[in-house]
């Protein structure tokens, strides 16, 4: 089951309640890397901070902070960072990452 199907199957619940139903096993090494942080300074919309449903990206003190342990692996951030193509995104290795309890 992917994230879209998971969210559709839980109508009536708020996003925070849905996220609470997931299980995370974060790897120590981030599977999300900003290729060139200086490009983020030129990025006006900072789409990654708006699109991510789990608030993995945060703009703080002139740089992007990444909390990769929150990632739902939906892939949206690498798509919206189209102007600078600045996110190196891979699935976490092995059994790490997010698991959907109902799938
Ligand atoms: S959308 Fe891409 S370039 Fe813009 S702030 Fe996010 S990672 Fe940086
Ligand atoms: S893949 Fe999805 S959940 Fe993970 S950081 Fe990107 S937008 Fe957020």
Q: For residues 91 and 22, which has the higher predicted lDDT (pLDDT)?
A: 91
pLDDT tens-digit series, residues 9-66: 666 677 777 777 788 899 999 999 999 999 999 999 999 999 999 999 999 999 999 9
pLDDT of res. 6: 62
Atom of ligand 2 nearest to the CA of 51: 7
Q: Which domains does the chain carry?
A: 3-10+27-100 (3.30.70.20)
User: Among 41, 43, 103, 42, which residue's Cα sits nearest to residue 72?
Assistant: 103
Nearest residue CA, atom 6 of ligand 2? 77
Task: Report residue 4's pLDDT band, with 50, 70 and 90 as the boundaries.
Answer: low
The alpha carbon of 72 and the centre of ligand 2 are apart by a number of angstroms equal to 6
Strand pairing report for 22-25 and 97-100: antiparallel
Claim: this prediction has a pTM higher than 0.85: no
Which is it for the CA torsion 77, 83, 88, 89, positive or negative?
positive
Atom of ligand 1 nearest to the CA of 43: 4
pLDDT of res. 99: 85
pLDDT tens-digit series, residues 62-87: 999 999 999 999 999 999 999 999 99
3-state secondary structure of 22: strand
Nearest residue CA, atom 2 of ligand 2? 74
User: Do the beta carbons of residue 57 and residue 65 sit within 8 Å?
Assistant: yes
Residues near ligand 2 (Cβ within 6 A): 32, 51-54, 56, 71-77
């Amino acid at each position: 089951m992917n994230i879209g199907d998971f969210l559709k199957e839980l109508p009536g619940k708020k996003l925070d309640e849905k996220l609470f139903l997931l299980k995370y096993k974060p790897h120590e090494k981030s599977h999300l890397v900003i290729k060139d942080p200086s490009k983020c300074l030129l990025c006006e919309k900072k789409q990654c901070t708006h699109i991510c449903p789990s608030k993995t990206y945060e703009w703080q003190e002139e740089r992007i902070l990444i909390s990769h342990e929150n990632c739902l692996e939906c892939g949206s951030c690498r798509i919206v960072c189209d102007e600078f193509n600045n996110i190196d995104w891979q699935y976490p290795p092995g059994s790490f990452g997010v698991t959907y309890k109902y799938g």
